[in-house]
Amino acid sequence: MDQIIVKTPAKINLTLEIVNKREDGFHNIQSIMQLIDLYDYLTITVEESDKEEIILFGTSDEIPYNEKNLVYKAAKLFFDFLSSYEDSYFAEQKFRVNINIEKNIPISAGLAGGSTNAAGTFYGLNKIFDEVIPKDKLHKLCEQLGSDLNVCLEGGCLLATSRGEVIKKLPFRDYNVSLIKPINLGISAKEAYTKYSQMENKPKYDYTHKMIDAIMIGTDLRQFLYNDLETAVFNDYKELQTIKNIYPDSIMSGSGSTYFMLNQKAEPLDGYWIKNDLRFISKGVEEVIV
């Protein structure tokens, strides 16, 4: 039996701009995504078995522990891929996998909690099997499951384009981060993108490339923080308006409902989850050495 513990970091969108809608129903985006040191933890145990089993459990009562979970889908895809290896041990052998998910990243928060768990599952299983799948192919598996997995696997600061799965590494800058999330409000990506599609006047600022220039020359990034999806959902939720009224320099991450600030602390606020003293990190999912 083999076991690994993987820490899977949250991400924030320093910029998120919608380029256009694709024929497959998704949207092309340009976004600068940054990993931060807020982690979920996966404890993955694998042993040989006479049948394939993927068993999930964990600390949250807000997520499914079945085939609907991205962690389950990642484990299934991983072993399906290995079983396709011809004349291989993996073509015949089945495995029992137990994955304990310790959730610290809020659910439906725009912080890639599900995506980073799935990327961590790919990473952890691949480590257990001595990195049998090259990293470029691991990225291809990530592409099949979602838009943020590649960012979470690679880590640091990245320009994400297409659906978010095409990534380019950017220089690392160090900032403090504070998060503010309405406790009883989660916004799905489907809702946010649908509301954006319904907007008549869609702004086109190209803050993404302005921020890239700022990253490259070392100037302050905060003037270019921007999110098209915030524009789409802001007027529908008084909870978001409350955050913006108190902290006008805050910006929404992903499809929300989490807001973040750089180099500014948030004070306790009734009805809101607050997390201060976080930082940008230069890595993505990684093994916990115990």
85-to-78, 96, 118, 124 alpha-carbon distances in Å:
12, 19, 22, 19
| Unique residue bearing structure tokens 């999930």 | 56
The span from the CA of 272 to the CA of 213, in Å, is 34
Walk along the chain (290 residues) and give the pLDDT tens digit of each residue.
Answer: 799 999 999 999 999 999 988 888 788 999 999 999 999 999 999 999 999 999 999 999 999 999 999 999 999 999 999 988 766 788 888 999 999 999 999 999 999 999 999 999 999 999 999 999 999 999 999 999 988 999 999 999 999 999 999 999 999 999 999 999 999 999 999 999 999 999 988 888 999 999 999 999 999 999 999 999 999 999 999 999 999 999 999 999 999 999 999 999 999 999 999 999 999 999 999 999 88
Q: Which residues have a catalytic role annotated?
A: 11, 148
Of 132, 128, 164, 93, the C-alpha closest to 5 is 128
